[in-house]
Amino acid sequence: MIKKLLIANRGEIALRIMASAKELGIKTVIVYSEADKNSMPVQLADEAYCIGPASPSDSYLNIPAIMTAAELSGADAIHPGYGFLSENARFAEIVEASGLVFIGPSPKHIQLMGNKQEARKTMESLGVPILPGSNGVIKRIGDARRTAEKIGYPIILKAVAGGGGRGMRIINTPVELEENFTTAQREAYMAFGSPDLYIEKYIERAHHVEVQVIGDGKKAISIGDRECSMQRRHQKIVEEAPSPFISEETRQRMLDVVEKAATSLKLRSLVTFEFLVDQKENFYFIEANTRIQVEHPVTELVTWVDLIKEQILIASGGKMTTKKENLRRIGHAIEARINAEDPQTFSPSPGKIHFLFFPGGNGIRVDTAVFQGYEIPPYYDSMIAKIIAYGRTRREALRKLEVALKHTSIVGVKTNLPLLLKLFESPEFLSGNYTTRFLEEEFVW
Ligand code: MV4
């Protein structure tokens, strides 16, 4: 059993991990940057180690500093949270080579899913539908031309080492392909250290639906789906469980095909499988994430599975406490991400929080690490809280969420609260049939 857990992250997810660890009687160690010395995770952890200056590359991505803190503290496991080192296979390897437990999938699985073309090929071989596209890595423009002619325009160029929407280019014509291919390779090389690209048929009006898998290395279970189409520049702002768009029949087919593939792969810990779903409810695997995700609470609320606790128990060598026979999905959950940003321009709005209030109430969960008097540092992402509502129906969850947002008060920094409230009045959101284009291209307020 794990006795002492080092949390290599910050903010709300550091607190969320700490809560499950403490519930299990595990001591907690936090590592923090100079900019986070007055943070809530530092206050609440049993031990805290400063690992460097504010810049992520000097602290939360600084593997030697984190490993030193692990050694000094006597921690026997590391949880990476999301972002930072969470999907770094080399980090997972180093942790394991040091005799510590890495809380997450095996380094091999992190590596496999980090190569988006390998992941695509692997899923296809396991019977998961993928979009028409390249069979391997596209190295030369000639291969790109041939693939594009075969599958037809529009196509999308993606970086093999990319993911999460970074380094993608939509290509509508052969001329655009000629104009963009080399630049896309160069950009991929600059951003991800590899110029390798792959091609997929581009689907225009898609839903982004993902499936949460939990596995113990022997058996994997699909525990539920999430609708994640409400996003801007690949930052999700609202997530729901279950997806209000897909039918029960589509959902069941998606969960089943993912569960079979994940079991074949002998996945351990948590993995999320992302799909694009078109208007006819055809679904296509696009990528898999080998970390706990920001939006995990909506799945926790409808399934009653404590995802972090499961991660810790599985990593401790125990088995999943989740049993497929006992798994239930009841009701509906909606999460709104509160960002410290200008709601018009979306530019970050760091600074001091002079007054802060979050409501509670039936079916309301608030995951946050901010408090009155806290100064939001400018070095990290702008998400400062997640308000999640749970109800028997989507309507009920939405009403509860609207009331909770209206009762929220954050003074001192700009937030996206006004945008969220307007969004929840829009007919498109109310209908549940909104695509990834909605927030960026269709919503006016
Ligand atoms: C796509 C796509 C359409 N066709 N792939 C975005 C997140 C990343 N995981 C994959 N993403 C997409 N992949 C194919 N073949 C549409 C998206 C997409 C998107 C693309 C451009 C601009 C905004 C977008 C928002 C969500 C999803």
Q: Which residue owns the Cα nearest ligand 1 atom 20?
A: 165
Q: Decide if 143 is inside a domain.
A: yes
Last residue of a domain, one of 163, 185, 201: 201
Same domain, 76 and 215: no
Q: Is residue 20 part of a domain?
A: yes
Domain boundary at 177, 201, 225, which?
A: 201
Residue whose Cα lies nearest atom 17 of ligand 1: it is 165
291 labelled catalytic: yes
CB-based contacts of 372, cutoff 8 Å, min separation 6: 353, 354, 355, 356
- Return the pLDDT at 320: 85
For ligand 1, atom 5, which residue shows the shortest CA distance? Answer: 202
- For residues 239 and 318, membership in a common domain is answered with yes
Gap between the Cα atoms of 80 and 7, Å rounded: 6
Contact between 364 and 400 (Cβ < 8 Å): yes
Residues 284 and 390 in one domain: yes
Q: Are residues 20 and 93 in the same domain?
A: yes
Ligand 1 probe mutation, 113, 131, 156, most atoms within 8 A of CB: 156
**Closest C-alpha residue for ligand 1 atom 1:** 202
Q: Are residues 213 and 193 in the same domain?
A: no
- On whether both 213 and 348 belong to a single domain, the answer is yes
Q: Are residues 80 and 171 in the same domain?
A: no
Q: 174 and 51 in one domain?
A: no
Give the number of domains in the chain: 3
Instruction: Look at residue 118 and tell me if it is in a domain.
Output: no
281 belongs to a structural domain? yes
Most ligand 1 atoms within 8 A of CB, residue of 277, 436, 440 to mutate: 436
Cα(199)–Cα(202) distance, integer angstroms: 9
| Ligand 1 atom nearest to CA at 287 | 9
Whether 303 is covered by a domain: the verdict is yes
- Give the domain CATH number at 296: 3.30.470.20
Residue 108 inside a domain? The answer is: no
Same domain, 175 and 215: no
* Ligand 1 probe mutation, 87, 198, 234, most atoms within 8 A of CB: 234
Distance 351 CA to ligand 1 centre (A): 32
Within-domain flag for 140: yes
Token pair for residue 269?
A: 């810990």
171 Cβ inside 6 Å of ligand 1:
no
User: Rounded CA gap, 101 and 354, in Å?
Assistant: 40
Catalytic: which of 10, 226, 268, 291?
291
Query: Is any atom of ligand 1 closer than 6 Å to the C-beta of 155?
Result: no
CATH code for the domain of 29: 3.40.50.20
pLDDT of residue 65: 98
* 87-138 per-position pLDDT tens digit: 999 999 999 999 999 999 999 999 999 999 999 999 999 999 999 999 999 9
Q: Mind listing the pLDDT tens digit for each residue in 379-400? A: 999 999 999 999 999 999 999 9
Judge whether 370 lies within some domain.
yes
C-beta 276 within 6 A of ligand 1 = yes
CA distances from 338 to 129, 235, 237, 420 (A): 34, 12, 8, 8
Q: Ligand 1: which residue has its CA nearest to atom 15?
A: 202
Nearest to 162 by CA among 130, 197, 111, 112: 197
pLDDT at 445: 86
In this prediction, residue 170 carries a pLDDT of 97
Q: Which structural domain, as residue segments, surrounds residue 175?
A: 132-201
Ligand 1: residue whose CA is nearest its atom 24 = 436
Q: Which pLDDT value is given to residue 319?
A: 78
Instruction: Compute the distance from residue 165 Cα to the ligand 1 centre, in Å.
Output: 6
pLDDT of the chain along its 445 residues, tens only? 999 999 999 999 999 999 999 999 999 999 999 999 999 999 999 999 999 999 999 999 999 999 999 999 999 999 999 999 999 999 999 999 999 999 999 999 999 999 999 999 999 999 999 999 999 999 999 999 999 999 999 999 999 999 888 889 999 999 999 999 999 999 999 999 999 999 999 999 999 999 999 999 999 999 999 999 999 999 999 999 999 999 999 999 999 999 999 999 999 999 999 999 999 999 999 999 999 999 999 999 999 999 999 999 999 987 789 999 999 999 999 999 999 999 888 999 999 999 999 999 999 999 999 999 999 999 999 999 999 999 999 999 999 999 999 999 999 999 999 999 999 999 999 999 999 999 999 999 8
Is 147 found in the same domain as 85? no
Reading the block at residue 382, the tokens are: 């702008």
73 Cα–ligand 1 center, Å: 42
Asked whether residue 369 falls in the same domain as residue 237, the answer is: yes
Same domain, 61 and 148: no
